[in-house]
Structure 1
Amino acid sequence: MTKSLKNPFFWVIALISLISDQLSKYLVVQNFELKETLALWPDVFHFTYVLNPGAAFSFFQGEVWLRWLSLVVSIGLIAFAVFGPVLNTLEQLGYGFILGGALGNGIDRFFNNCVVEGKLLTCVVDFLDFRLIHFPVFNLADIFINIGIICLLIVSFRDQPPASNSRRL
């Protein structure tokens, strides 16, 4: 008798997220020069190839611990999916998206090098450029992490017991 995979949506969405993130970055690196931009909707949305040596919004530039944080989060999520409880579908999707995004950016942090102000650093490939709102350039892994957080927030609010409005005198 075969044992079924625990939390199957977690694994599927993590794998799809990781593959789509890494494939999109590969295509950008192969087809764009660094800092090259392609206007898909002029002044609104561009593909712009940049290397980010930090985390979101380029915070913590050059910090080596970012690569280890990605690794620890990834290992923790995998352990939780394997050894933790059976999760509901939305929890599986949330944690799966976060794992896919953490692995995607983590792979970049371990294997992509760039030079910033004369220092050799590890960098994440970013290319999604919303110019209409002057938002920092980002990638699919960042989107997946945010989708995962939204899924988990929905679960946390949905599973809250209703507040009692009755007062006893």
Structure 2
Amino acid sequence: MSDASEHRAEAPPGSQRRALVPLLLLGVAAAVFAADQLVKNWVVDHLVEGQTVPVWGEFLRWHFVRNPGAAFSFATGSTWIFTILAAVVVIVILWQIRRLKSVPWGLFLGLLLGGVLGNLTDRLTREPGFPQGHVIDFISTPWMWLGFPEAIYNIADIAIVSGMLLFVAISLLGVHIDGRPRERSGEPEIAETSPGEDSRGAA
């Protein structure tokens, strides 16, 4: 077999890298989920519900609460609705894996999947029971809210918000989920030619 044939048989390095992007998504999601659940179990075992524990003064405090609402303790009393929404998000993300070839998109979807699964697991397994379990929140940073009611959150919430900020960035940059480069209007299309064609044209 000639060297040219061997070159065509090999997949481009970029294609091989993009083929591993779904593994990035699953790895990030697994790391976020494991960290979230391990820390929540520690909180339940070692902190007193409703008690504030200073960590770095007013900058960071632990405050263990059971949240029946959405992220940052919003919309309490609608637990079953958020359970359904979280399950739908998980299904949509898993469905999109077949199209995924972009590293930024893999990171975004991994953060979102890990965070959603972390809070969904609480809703399905913790008190008062399936499917209305309360989410374990414990991170309190009063300085963030400038007069608004104090919000208490967890690692899953941080992952979800970080993922959404990344989504805004990749949307503004025009990054496609399938790895296609951003289309630039007004640029002339340059036809690819082989060295032989160039020499013939020059002659």
TM-score, normalised with respect to structure 1: 0.82
2:135 is matched with which residue: 124, 129, 134?
Answer: 124
Deviations 1:67-112 (A, max 9, x none): 111111112111211x3x1331110000010000000000111112
2:121 is matched with which residue: 100, 107, 118?
Answer: 107
Q: Aligned residues, how many?
A: 156
2:52 is matched with which residue: 30, 33, 37?
Answer: 37
Aligned ranges 1:17-166 → 2 under 5 Å = 17-63=32-78, 64-81=80-97, 83=98, 85-114=99-128, 121-134=132-145, 135-159=150-174
Query: Which of these two proteins has the greater Rg computed from alpha carbons?
Result: 2
Q: 1:15 to 1:72 in 2, by over 3 A?
A: same
For 2:185 and 2:54, the matched residues in 1 are separated by 49
Does the 8 A contact of 2:72 with 2:157 survive in 1? no
- State the shift of 1:6 in Å: 5.6
Q: 1:49 to 1:96 in 2, by over 3 A?
A: same
Task: Look up the match of 2:199.
Answer: none
Task: Look up the match of 1:9.
Answer: 24
Unpaired runs of 5+ in structure 2?
1-18, 175-181, 187-203
Which letter maps to 2:155?
L
- Higher relative helix content: 2
Output the aligned Cα RMSD.
Answer: 2.4
Identity rate, percent: 29
Q: Which moved more, 1:70-79 or 1:54-63?
A: 54-63
For 2:65 and 2:183, the matched residues in 1 are separated by 45
Task: Look up the match of 2:4.
Answer: none
- State the shift of 1:37 in Å: 2.2
Deviations 1:36-69 (A, max 9, x none): 2221111221011111110034333222111111
